[in-house]
Chains A and B, each alone.
Chain A
Amino acid sequence: MKWRPGDRSLLSFLEREEFAMGFYEQLKRAIAVYDEILRQPHRTEIARELRDEEDLFMLLCFSEMLGLPNPAFYYTLELYPVIIERFHDWHLRAGMEKSPLEGIRCC
């Protein structure tokens, strides 16, 4: 239906709809702002937690390369008896009669 000047009913309908849309948009924006307010401190804490995890990961994986003693060794030393037999087999397979690494005591 084409709108003609002076068509009050259609105009008022459109106005109402525009008003409704505007209100809906504003409500949506207000909720978005509210949500962001509440999310703000949480975002900080999650970012901090992830940063701490990342720091730990970097330290465990790469500290030795940079010459920093790896704190995890203190605990991984417990795995020594588990891995020693496989290590022994490996250096024999590789053609070395004695352990090539001074740090690891084998035969």
Chain B
Amino acid sequence: MNSVWLAVIGMIVFAIGYRFYSKWVAEKIYRLDPNYVTPAHQYSDGVDFVPTKKMILWGHHFTSVAGAAPIVGPAIAVYWGWLPAFLWVTLGTVFAAGVHDFGTLVLSVRNKGQSVGTITNKLIGKRAKIMFLFIILILVLMVNAVFAWVIANLFVKFPASVLSVFLQIPLAIWIGYAVYKKKKGMLIPSLIALAVMYGAAILASRVPALQIDLVRYFGGADSTVMFGLSGVSMAFLVWIVVLMVYVYIASTLPVWKLLQPRDYINSHQLVVGLFILYAGLIFLQPKVTAPAMNAAATDVSWFPLLFITIACGAISGFHGLVSSGTSSKQLEKETDARFVGYLGAVGEGVLALIAIIAVVTVFATKADFTAAYSSFAAASAGGLGNFINGAAQLATGIWIPADIARTIVSIIVVSFAATTLDTSVRLMRYIIAEIGSEYNVQALTKTHVATTVAVVSSAALVLLPKGPNGFGSGGYLLWPLFGTSNQLLAGVSLLLISIWLKRQGRNYLVTFIPMVFVFFMTLWAMVQQVVFQWSGYGSGELNMLLFGIGGLILIFVFWIIIEAIAAFSRNNPPPLSKEM
């Protein structure tokens, strides 16, 4: 089958979802009011609350939510064949992610632009807010570990990308300085930075001396370096330590110094990446070689594991934090929420779609696919590498040599992952500080104590799982846990929207059904993983780490479900203010 069809059908589904479903939701369920005074106008302060045109806000929302996760998840999930992943990404975006992102935006706009956490406190109660804090804590911890692995893995696999990624740091600081102190525009400097990075990428792809290949420095994959660690294992260890030192510094700097200029360059990369992949797809028109359903995938069933393997790209709780954290404070008119929220989710769906297409077209034959995706563990470890190769193949459609494209695509993925890492370590620091002040542990509220706790726990988590390449290389095993915690967060947000709709006497099934679906799938998947895979029950091997964290998350799943039932069956809810 020609893979362009996948893109065309996916786009049609997204278009119908936006044109009809979101319109119906906007008019009949969320009942957007063009005359409602949004927080951006009501609390206008020139800093956080600023009325912003919908196109600009959409772009900002999209670039904030699109990252490496909608690439990694689909690249693993095609293990079960392209059809389940394709259906979950397209239908999930339309019926789950769309209403979730859109709904959290509207909910926050109707609640003075407050964040989901504060609204949880208001709608359900203080206990639920604490629960919410812990879920985010688990989520960011997983994000830190998984993305540190993603970056280390790409550095080991594609050493040509290292130089450009490290060049981005001084370039970003330079741009931040130029804009802040000299009041210069950003477009030209950031384009120069991008040109320098890609120039270095082209050079490094062709000149081996510029490839910072730790495995080679350590004497190859088979060598033993020290403490009995192999070359690959040692490379992972060194990269993870370097990354952790980097995020410690990056996450304690003011945002404008490094994080935002990096984001600025990364937005160009997102546009460049999407353009290269979709244009390449149109010109190359590769055949889908992966099967629609992989009959050989028998070790773990796609149902329900698919729904936690692809989180971002189908539904992601992280989006609710962006919707209610920044976007809701800048919405000019309430009716813009549909464009910003729903279309923001669609944007990520488009990215996940091309990730699926890149992976299902990269193999020459079905046998190659089956060999690469021989087990779920192999899919988790190799999925991202397959995406990079697939994306490089698509790029040859617009006459970019495959080796250069591979370097550039891995730079793009690493840049996304690094920014996510930076943001989530920062977020983790805030949450640790908040938990510290909640339980009166003064030490935790100090920046450097909180950051140390965040960085050390993340480093420990990424180093603990044992991968086939030894110590440090098994971070991908945490991927399902990342998906689970992300889905749980989405479930809580959907619960809030449903409660809000119910108290208004409106039809809340639009968010209630996705919520039940998400809770059910995560519960089932976690029980399956924790009890049958990680506990040592039956043929499985006991994995203390995954069993422990999985068990903890499982407790949270039960807790949330109990809170949800309690919140829904409450007869006399606290009254809502009129304008809500």
B153-200, CB < 8 A from A: 179-180, 185-187, 190
A105 sits at the interface (CB 8 A):
no
Q: Say yes or no: A38-B256 contact (C-beta < 8 A), given A44-B47, A51-B47.
A: no
Q: Say yes or no: A37-B255 contact (C-beta < 8 A), given A46-B180, A47-B46, A51-B47.
A: no
A33-53, CB < 8 A from B: 33-49, 51
B187: chain A residues at CB < 8 Å are: 31, 34-35, 38
Contact of B179 among A37, A40, A41, A42 (CB under 8 A): A42
A46: chain B residues at CB < 8 Å are: 179-180, 256
Q: A37 contacts B260, CB within 8 Å?
A: no
User: Can you identify 27 A-B contacts, CB atoms within 8 angstroms?
Assistant: A34-B271, A35-B185, A35-B187, A36-B53, A38-B59, A38-B186, A38-B190, A38-B264, A40-B56, A40-B60, A41-B60, A41-B260, A41-B263, A41-B326, A42-B186, A42-B256, A42-B260, A44-B48, A44-B326, A45-B255, A46-B180, A47-B47, A48-B48, A49-B180, A49-B254, A49-B256, A51-B47
CA distance A50 to B431 in the complex (A): 25
The number of chain B residues touching the other chain, given as a range, is 20 to 34
CA distance A43 to B179 in the complex (A): 10
Q: How far is the CB of B265 from chain A (nearest CB, A)?
A: 9
CA distance A47 to B56 in the complex (A): 18
CA distance A51 to B47 in the complex (A): 8
User: What does the 1/0 interface line of A7-38 toward B look like (CB < 8 Å)?
Assistant: 00000000000000000000000010111111
CA distance A46 to B182 in the complex (A): 12
Question: Main SS of chain A's interface residues?
Answer: helix
User: What does the 1/0 interface line of A67-86 toward B look like (CB < 8 Å)?
Assistant: 00000000000000000000
Q: How far is the CB of B40 from chain A (nearest CB, A)?
A: 12
Q: How far is the CB of A31 from chain B (nearest CB, A)?
A: 7
CA distance A43 to B185 in the complex (A): 11
Q: How far is the CB of A50 from chain B (nearest CB, A)?
A: 9
CA distance A68 to B187 in the complex (A): 44
Q: How far is the CB of B254 from chain A (nearest CB, A)?
A: 6
B425-480, CB < 8 A from A: none
**Closest residue on chain A to residue B50 by CB atoms:** A44
Q: B260 contacts A40, CB within 8 Å?
A: no
Q: How far is the CB of B324 from chain A (nearest CB, A)?
A: 16
A33: chain B residues at CB < 8 Å are: 55-56, 59
B261: chain A residues at CB < 8 Å are: 42
Question: Main SS of chain B's interface residues?
Answer: helix
CA distance A44 to B64 in the complex (A): 14
Q: How far is the CB of B44 from chain A (nearest CB, A)?
A: 12
A41: chain B residues at CB < 8 Å are: 60, 64, 260, 263, 326
Q: How far is the CB of A44 from chain B (nearest CB, A)?
A: 6
B357 sits at the interface (CB 8 A):
no
CA distance A37 to B187 in the complex (A): 11
Q: How far is the CB of B292 from chain A (nearest CB, A)?
A: 38
B57 sits at the interface (CB 8 A):
yes
B267 sits at the interface (CB 8 A):
yes
Q: Say yes or no: A36-B56 contact (C-beta < 8 A), given A31-B187, A49-B254.
A: yes
CA distance A45 to B56 in the complex (A): 16
Q: B186 contacts A37, CB within 8 Å?
A: no
Q: How far is the CB of A97 from chain B (nearest CB, A)?
A: 50
Q: A45 contacts B256, CB within 8 Å?
A: yes
CA distance A35 to B57 in the complex (A): 12
Q: A38 contacts B46, CB within 8 Å?
A: no
B223 sits at the interface (CB 8 A):
no
Contact of B186 among A39, A44, A47 (CB under 8 A): A39
B255: chain A residues at CB < 8 Å are: 45
B52 sits at the interface (CB 8 A):
yes
CA distance A46 to B53 in the complex (A): 19
Q: How far is the CB of B479 from chain A (nearest CB, A)?
A: 28
Q: How far is the CB of A45 from chain B (nearest CB, A)?
A: 4
CA distance A70 to B46 in the complex (A): 28
Besides the known contacts A38-B263, A44-B50, 12 further A-B residue pairs in the complex with CB atoms under 8 A apart: A33-B55, A33-B59, A37-B267, A38-B190, A39-B186, A41-B60, A42-B264, A44-B48, A46-B180, A48-B47, A49-B254, A51-B47
CA distance A33 to B271 in the complex (A): 14
Contact of A37 among B48, B50, B60 (CB under 8 A): B60
**Closest residue on chain A to residue B57 by CB atoms:** A40
B63 sits at the interface (CB 8 A):
yes
Contact of A45 among B50, B185, B190, B260 (CB under 8 A): B260
CA distance A41 to B185 in the complex (A): 14
CA distance A33 to B187 in the complex (A): 11
Q: Which of B57, B185, B264 has the most CB of A within 10 A?
A: B264
B60: chain A residues at CB < 8 Å are: 37, 40-41
CA distance A35 to B59 in the complex (A): 10
CA distance A33 to B57 in the complex (A): 10
CA distance A45 to B50 in the complex (A): 12
CA distance A33 to B52 in the complex (A): 12
User: What does the 1/0 interface line of B60-74 toward A look like (CB < 8 Å)?
Assistant: 100110000000000
Q: Which of A41, A47, A51 has the most CB of B within 10 A?
A: A41
